Chain A
Amino acid sequence: MSVHEQFAEDLALYALGCLEGDEKLSLEKHLQECASCRRELEELRGSAALLALTASGPRPPARSRTRLVDAIAKEPATMPSRVRTPWWGVLGWVTAAALVIAVTLVWTQNTRLKSNAQQLALLSNQQQSELESARRVVDTLTAQDAMRVSVLPVDMKIPPPEGKAIYSRERNGLIFMASHLQPLPAQKAYELWLIPVQGAPIPAGVFKPDAHGSATVVNPPLPPGVEAKAFAITIEPEQGSKTPTMPIVMVGAGG
């Protein structure tokens, strides 16, 4: 029996928790070095989990629920809820059947250039400070420690997923932010699509939610001058896709 075969037999026992003594120590040492045995162990533990799940019986008594609820009330989570500063302010809302993004096109027009020199000078200053402001916006959006918060009605307990897209056709700019996104299986990602008035959906960024369910897409490359009818989100393989894979999981139309 090869070394590996010997470990293979022990892996099953280890997965069931019945390997002991020197054999257990040997196997644990081997597992540190052998990725294929670790993978095999994970799968065997999966089978063991199904074995555990064959257990069935009456529900626990109601007092157990009360006991747990009282205990967690007495012991608030050790990580305090983070102090949250509002980012978006008022939120668009959700239909019963679908998750909807409210798309707001709020880009303001720039003032028209005047020929007057004084106004040119003023404009130059104004542009400088606008540039500075714009830079700060982008810096904040893309900062590593950026936190974002949804401000919700006081009695809302568990917030549903939601997002906002801001798109300027003129400036070929798109900013998209989402929160409370549901986590995805490995090797999958969300993909944002710009649905044009005419033509096929255009890929507008691939993203995965962070540990808090938030995600941001800032100015993805887009063909210029596209008139957007709507934005949508689908779930794709993590490298993204050229065409959307149904179903659409979130959608919103411009207004």
Chain B
Amino acid sequence: MSTAAPNPNLNDGALILAIRSGNQDAMAELYDRYSSVVYAVAMRVLGDTGAAEDVLQEVFMQLWRNPRAFDAGRGSLAPWLAVITRNRAVDVLRKRRPQTEINDTLISIEPDLAADADRGKAVDKVRGVLKDMPAAQRNAIEMAYFEGYSHTEISEKTGEPLGTIKTRIRSGLMLLRKAVEPKP
């Protein structure tokens, strides 16, 4: 199998269509585009290279086996892959059976954010918001998202009331969302 140079002219949707026809080069191209994203998310959750590599393999094999799970009209694969990876990695972390069917994950990203550059800017904004957030709020969000704790577990671990945790997480997520909304 040749390591063909990435073809920047083909968008993710076109690659997915090729993958649906069994095109292995298109699959390799998609790996070259997004393996870093998937690996980074897996590492963030699992902190272990071996486990992260296994999740990396699983996510791409799932896509190979079921390319119709991604709606080719929806722009970039990156946000969708990031969420699939997070979910699979948290399941591994918590030693659970896979919780989410790959098909059920429908992600809405503003069309503007579909382009790499715009998405990069949006991610930077989110990093900024996280940095500026009160530590307890950032902590709650990260425990929920990257460590896979339930709201009850977070309440127990932090000693904070359940209602406080819920409100903190909700307002934190709304802050992230507001940061990337298109300005009126």
Contacts and interface: CB of A to CB of B under 8 A. Distances in A.
Nearest to A213: B17
Interface residues of A, number: 61
Nearest to B109: A46
Interface residues of B, number: 90
A72 B64 contact: yes
Contacts of A69: 1, 24, 28, 31
A45 B25 contact: no
B92 interface: no
A157 B24 CA distance: 9
A54 interface: yes
Given A55-B40, A65-B31, A158-B26, A16 B169 contact: yes
A45 B177 CA distance: 10
A80 B22 CA distance: 7
Interface in B121-163: 122-123, 126-127, 130, 141, 144-146, 148-152, 154
Contacts of A63: 53
Interface stretch (A105-113, A114-122, A167-175, A183-191): A183-191
Contact of B85 (A20, A52, A59): A52
Interface string B14-55: 110111111111111101100111111101100001001100
Interface of A: 8-10, 12-13, 15-21, 39, 42-57, 59-61, 63-65, 67-69, 71-73, 75-82, 157-158, 160, 180, 182-186, 211-213
Given A20-B151, A52-B145, A213-B14, A60 B20 contact: no
Given A51-B141, A52-B41, 7 more contacts: A12-B170, A13-B151, A13-B166, A51-B173, A57-B39, A69-B1, A184-B73
A67 B39 CA distance: 14
A9 B168 CA distance: 10
